[in-house]
Amino acid sequence: MLEPGHLLHALERKVDEFQSHHETKTAQSAQHSEWLERFSALTYLFADARLAPLDYPGAHPTREWETHQSLAVPFTQSFHNHQEAREWAASVLTARTTFAVDGSQIMPNKEISIPVAVVQAGWYLNPHEANAPFEKNVHAEVIGPEELLSSGSEEKMYHDQIISLRRYELEIDTILNFFSRTQNVKRSVTFFDGSLLISFAEVLMELYRQRYLQSALALLEASQQQAAPVIGYVDTSVARDLIRMLQFTFCDEPDLQQDGLRDAQLVQNLIPNWGDRTIAFRLSRPGILREYGDFSTELGFLYMRTKMDRLPTRIEFPLWLHESGQLDDVLDIVRAECIIGNGYPYALETADQVAWFSPFDRSRFNNLFKSFLESHSLSLQISGKLQSKQRRR
């Protein structure tokens, strides 16, 4: 039960801390905004020469800077109302297949004596053709005691790691399966919910990190070999690659440990209108990117306005999309999906709905698991606490 009065008093005791954070963030924003303005006044060749000798300066501008003579690329379409926007989106999506995948999981319940988990990938495919209906489905896998306990520990953190890994592998496998069974995959756009760079895997045990890398690289290799466009859609990004780039450009001693300001906050005034985007940048972040082999210099990103009351969205992609001249076409698909989805790609929204395990689903799985064990004469113990919850809720 939440007690507002108690929490308000607790917040008041922290008011100095919140004010200090606000002041620090405001100062950082002003400094980096000034640097961004100064950076914008440079030429591509000068900036490239400044950043080229550095190891992982966060980001490198692409030659889009030369093409557009700006770090911002305005969206040139204009709409008088949402109906016009939807008509434009429909025209862009006609005969263009969009595919999206998302995942969900049921974690082991410590109140049940036998550890078991479920991972599920939900996908949505829409050919956007009159005689070709959309498809949506799921693929689920059970993770049993042997795999859950293979770390030698029953601690929740180890369960979380293997389950998150299996979910990620299942999502990537679902995309690869789509690539292999789609005839004209070059005309499709695949949406992945999240970053194409698995920075989170840096802190994991070696076995798990390598499995993440194997899946991440398999996706990039298949995308390149089959010329299958794929984007990583990061709705709320905390990345600081452009901030790192600015610090390496203008600071003799970059303060790489400071926290608070994010790229999306920095560029929001640069791209003020819906559909506007930054130029494409090549990702150059220290860490696990070093282990991406041939793809360590082949990931691109940009920021785009997909909803006016939110910070810009981060969009990641294999750089071959930019180098082949297909990036603008793919980004129009992204814009069209966001129009249909009212600010978020409709394909991803649908995949999320398909994949999601509701509280009812989780309870139903527990009952299904219990019946399964009983049918095979396997014993199961359920804690009194869980039984009490089931009665009361």
- Give tens-digit pLDDT for 314-343: 999 999 999 999 999 999 999 999 999 999
Residue-level pLDDT at 119: 97
In a domain, 320, yes or no: yes
Residue-level pLDDT at 300: 99
Pair 179, 255 in one domain: yes
Pair 362, 333 in one domain: no
Pair 135, 161 in one domain: yes
Q: How confident is the model at residue 212 (pLDDT cuts 50, 70, 90)?
A: very high
> Is residue 218 within 8 Å of 197, Cβ to Cβ?
no
In a domain, 87, yes or no: yes
Q: Angle at the Cα of 371 (from 355 to 138), degrees rounded to 5?
A: 15
Pair 225, 109 in one domain: yes
Residue-level pLDDT at 20: 84
Pair 214, 265 in one domain: yes
Pair 264, 367 in one domain: no
pLDDT at 220 over 60: yes
In a domain, 26, yes or no: no
d(CA 218, CA 225): 10
Pair 287, 367 in one domain: no
Pair 286, 370 in one domain: no
In a domain, 81, yes or no: yes
> Is residue 131 within 8 Å of 149, Cβ to Cβ?
no
d(CA 52, CA 336): 36
In a domain, 137, yes or no: yes
Pair 248, 276 in one domain: yes
Pair 225, 283 in one domain: yes
Query: What percent of the chain has pLDDT above 90?
Result: 74
Pair 288, 390 in one domain: no
**Domain count of the chain?**
2
Residues in Cβ contact with 288 at an 8 Å cutoff, skipping those fewer than 6 apart: 197, 198, 199, 201, 202, 209, 213
- Which among 58, 127, 119, 102 is positioned nearest to 355, based on CA atoms? 102
Residues in Cβ contact with 341 at an 8 Å cutoff, skipping those fewer than 6 apart: 347, 348, 349
Range of the domain at 386: 358-393
Q: Would you say the pTM of this structure is higher than 0.85?
A: yes
In a domain, 219, yes or no: yes
Residue-level pLDDT at 12: 87
In a domain, 2, yes or no: no
Assign residue 181 a region (left: φ > 0; alpha: ψ between -120 and 50; beta: otherwise): alpha
Pair 175, 101 in one domain: yes
Residues listed for the chain:
393
In a domain, 48, yes or no: no
